[in-house]
Amino acid sequence: MHSFSLHTRPGRQQGRQKLRAAGASWRTSWCKGFTLIELLVVIAILAAILFPVFGRARENARRASCISNLKQIGLGVMQYTQDYDEQYPRYRWLYSSGQSWHQVIQPYIKST
């Protein structure tokens, strides 16, 4: 039965002694870092996971912006009807300079 320690492995001391005798540090061969390929693989995996999340967040932001714009148009039309005796803006004004409904309610819409 072998008893193992958490800090040493069988044969590790001999390996260190061989490396020291050869003039190399035991850390250079024992503790190697990540290779470029390994790092690129991890980055690719993280990107594959995060791209759909960012896409959904962008779509939700676009949806919120559209809802806000529609609300502003609705409030502009309501304010217009209050100012013009409950008359909705017409598609084209017959007796004026030919402004469309969106040009008529433009002063009532909050510009951002």
d(CA 38, CA 18): 29
**Domain ranges, residue 47:** 35-107
Q: Does residue 49 sit within a domain?
A: yes
pLDDT at residue number 73 = 92
Q: What is the mean pLDDT of the chain?
A: 78
Q: Does residue 98 sit within a domain?
A: yes
pLDDT at residue number 88 = 86
Domains contained in the chain, number: 1
* pLDDT confidence bin for 26, thresholds 50/70/90: very low
Which tokens sit at 22?
């050869």
Q: Does residue 19 sit within a domain?
A: no
Q: Does residue 10 sit within a domain?
A: no
* pLDDT confidence bin for 100, thresholds 50/70/90: confident
The predicted-structure confidence for 48-95, as pLDDT tens digits, reads as follows 999 999 999 999 999 999 999 999 999 999 999 999 888 888 776 565
Q: Does residue 3 sit within a domain?
A: no
- 18 pLDDT higher than 70: no
Q: Does residue 62 sit within a domain?
A: yes
Q: Which residue has the tokens 């969106």?
A: 102
* pLDDT confidence bin for 19, thresholds 50/70/90: low
